[in-house]
Amino acid sequence: MRRRAVAGAAVALAVVAVACQDVPAPTSKGNRAVGVEVQEAEKAKAAPETQEGVVPKLIGVSVGDAKKAIVAAGFKTGEIDTVGLFGTPDNNWLVCEQVPAGGASPEKGTAIDLTADSKAC
């Protein structure tokens, strides 16, 4: 009887060992297979990184302060147009319009165009 118990235990261990061979080891992220995690890491390396920024809201701000805010947010100052036919925008002029709009999320380095007026907009 003792031989049957030992033989039965050996068969049970063999079944468990065979069944566990096909199950991938869990990772620290739950039940996902390690191979899937490696594939995702390789995809992330291959994908080009684009950094988006948030354009500051500049309407009503002086042109000088707007330029500083644009650079601080990671963008470039684009064209600065005037509201009238004549005039060269001064740092004290006020921003009346901006493109892209404040709150937009273009790629960093994008030029932000301004329209300014020497008086209130």
- Over its length of 121 residues, how does the chain's per-residue pLDDT go in tens digits? 545 544 454 444 444 454 545 555 555 555 455 556 666 666 656 555 668 999 999 999 999 999 999 999 999 999 999 887 667 788 889 999 999 999 999 999 999 999 999 887 7
One-letter identity of residue 112: I
Cis peptide before 100 (omega within 30 of 0): yes
Measured distance CA(61)–CA(69) in Å, rounded: 10
User: Residue 50 to residues 7, 101, 109, 113: CA-CA distances in angstroms?
Assistant: 62, 20, 11, 21
Is 0.85 topped by the overall pTM? no
Phi-psi category of residue 85: left, alpha or beta, with phi > 0 → left and psi -120 to 50 → alpha: alpha
Measured distance CA(119)–CA(95) in Å, rounded: 10
The helix/strand/coil state of 76 is strand
